[in-house]
A and B are shown apart, each in its own frame.
Chain A
Amino acid sequence: MTTKPDPPSTRQSSTVVPLVKPTCKIHPNATVADKAHLLGSHTISIDSNTIIHPQARLNASHGNISIGAGSIVAEKSVVGLSSEPDDEDSNITIGSDVSIESGAVIQARKVGDNCTLGTNCKVGKGVVLGKWCTVAALCEVGEGEVLEDYTVVFGEGRKGRRVDGVVRERREVREVRRRGMEMEREVLRGIVVDSKMKWMG
């Protein structure tokens, strides 16, 4: 990928995806792969312990992206609006300990803490996901939907949703999940070569 060394231009949005390096605020503990694609002219902020895989795409062409602490963005996933937003709020806020699995396309306005967004799932524009939500592999969340905490999306329509009582009621299950994330990050830190300086400089 080619990036221009000059600071991001003053224009706020454009229809063509410009090859401008976004302003990056990356925590020193975060891991951003060399082959990750960070593009757009807005700000991308990545908090501590977050891991961005190679070939993951963070597109800040239409708004700021902030990713919370301890999240994982897997390869071939796309975070960012693909086109001009319909309303004012064009920023994407992803909480902490969120796992965005490979091929997921995330345009949500807000993703709560500890969510799991499965392989090749699609989360539309303006979606607000609560805490501990799960979007199963290949499932879709339509534009503007608001999902409450602990929702599991595993199919289509209202019957493809359910509130996961186990996760809601049981602290130990949440703990197990958190530990799973921790282990995954541990492994990934050994695999993904960090080159965040490329994006910060």
Chain B
Amino acid sequence: MSVTSSAVKGDGNRCSRSCYNCPSCTSPLQITHVSHRDEGLLKPNDAAGDDETYVLQCQFCDWSSLEIDVRFSKPTKITEQLAKQQKTRTSSTHSTTASNQKPLDHDEKFTNLVSFYKDQLNDSGDPQNPYSNSPHNSPANLARIMSLYGGLSYNALKKTREKPQPMREALGTPEGFVSFHADRSDSELIRRSQASGWDGTITSEQQDSAPSNYDSRFNGELWPSATQLRTKRAKRCKTCRHIIARPEPNVGNMRYKIRLLAMNYIPRLMLKSLHSATPLANPAFLLKPGMPQADDLQPHKAQQYILTVKNALFETVKISLATPATTPGKVASRVTILCPSFTVGPAGEVWDEALSASNEPNSDGDRKAAMASLTGSSESSERQPEAGKIWEKTRNSTSIIVEIVPGALQPPPSIVPKTEQQLTDEELGEDDDVLEVPVYVRAEWEAEIKPGETVQAKKDANAMPGEKVSKEIGYWVVLAAGRIAG
């Protein structure tokens, strides 16, 4: 349920409907009904009209409003019913202890004080001043001026000076003034805390849970606290001011409608060795550091990899890949992308994927692939990668072949003796032996402008909804193939 900010200004920042939190453990309270029939022993007269009463019950710590003996006749308008009960409760305690002037509660004291001081301000204010039109409206000033001109006698002057009554302070309970009494209630408190001990008292957090609990001291005196309202704010990007997340009017809805994250746009790349059956282990997750891996890349030995590009967009994407012929860094490896430009089909919902997979289980390609994966004698070993050809294509991913020739860690020996500078240059730093290939990915696609789309590039601003606009993104990625054997 959302509350407008004007309502918050008027009613305060707590829920004014039926949302309450447990004063004991702060979890939300639920309205549960207890039927009267079982209480026959306690309330025999109540069986007449309403068969059911409602209580607020905490599902976590079993606190219930029965602890303060509060029941509700209907499950709606809890705030109203609660306020009424609280009022009758306090007024009844007053009437029973009226003789010994039981202190009023904070709200009443405050209203008394406010009305008293308003009256005082009216009484002592300007309307009482007979010279209210004069610029010298302070009585002291006036008196000085009058004495200067000698218009009035000293006694008369004294009288006029006394006329505007000085503002006095509140005196007595009807005016809101309450003095400290060391009365019976204090000894009562001491007696109660002696009886109940530390465990019977409540914590300061529980006292602060709601204004009605500020004066509570013992278990069983806590009133449910109205749930505090929370704000839900939209988030904007720091640089481009696009709205990244926008709150939903429906509180329970967690879906983000705005697709601005890179995850929703950029095609994902995956590198896999063509010949090894097991996926290539990331060098960062080696079990034993320094252990020479069986998969370590042999220098000068051409390796073929399957590069799979997976589309995250709902449109068909044209991909162009570019890479330097040799990798940058100390160890230069040669890299060749056999098919640098191709298309990737559109992504669908998760269900589409699952259904399309089950729809064509008997298709020839699938069976062959399954056989290949079972027997291990894959046809891919027979198949030769060809330049300019796509290796494999599924609905929203396309695989191509990349050929990498790892460079040697040690430079070739030379006859000419090397200088100091050259020697330090050749020294390998940490992780210099990891073969990493930088790849520039450029994706182009035609997007349809949806009516009411908030995210718009500037140049598309005058395009009509429903029209197709070509969009493109380009970015660099680094693909790690493994460590080069030394």
Contact = CB atoms under 8 A, between A and B. Distances in A.
Number of chain A interface residues as a range: 20 to 34
Contact of A154 (B25, B64, B67): B25
Interface in A109-147: 134, 136-137
B203 A166 contact: no
B62 A134 contact: yes
Instruction: Give 4 nearest A-B pairs by CB, closest first.
Output: A154-B61, A172-B38, A166-B66, A172-B39
Given A136-B61, A173-B66, A162 B24 contact: yes
Nearest to A177: B62
A175 B42 CA distance: 14
Contacts of A166: 62, 64, 66-67
Interface of B: 24-25, 34, 38-39, 41-42, 60-64, 66-67, 198-199, 203, 219-220
Interface string A172-193: 1101100000000000000000
Given A155-B25, A176-B38, A162 B219 contact: yes
Given A162-B219, A166-B66, A152 B38 contact: no
Contacts of A167: 62
Interface in A71-129: none
Contacts of B63: 152
A165 B220 contact: yes
A158 interface: yes
Contact of B62 (A152, A171, A175): A152
A137 B24 CA distance: 15
B51 to A, nearest CB: 13
Given A136-B25, A154-B61, A162-B24, 13 more contacts: A137-B60, A154-B24, A154-B62, A155-B25, A162-B61, A165-B220, A170-B66, A171-B41, A172-B39, A173-B64, A173-B66, A176-B34, A176-B38
A98 B34 CA distance: 22
B325 to A, nearest CB: 58
A149 interface: no
B148 to A, nearest CB: 71
Contacts of B60: 136-137, 154
Contacts of B198: 158
Nearest to B58: A154
Contacts of A163: 199, 219
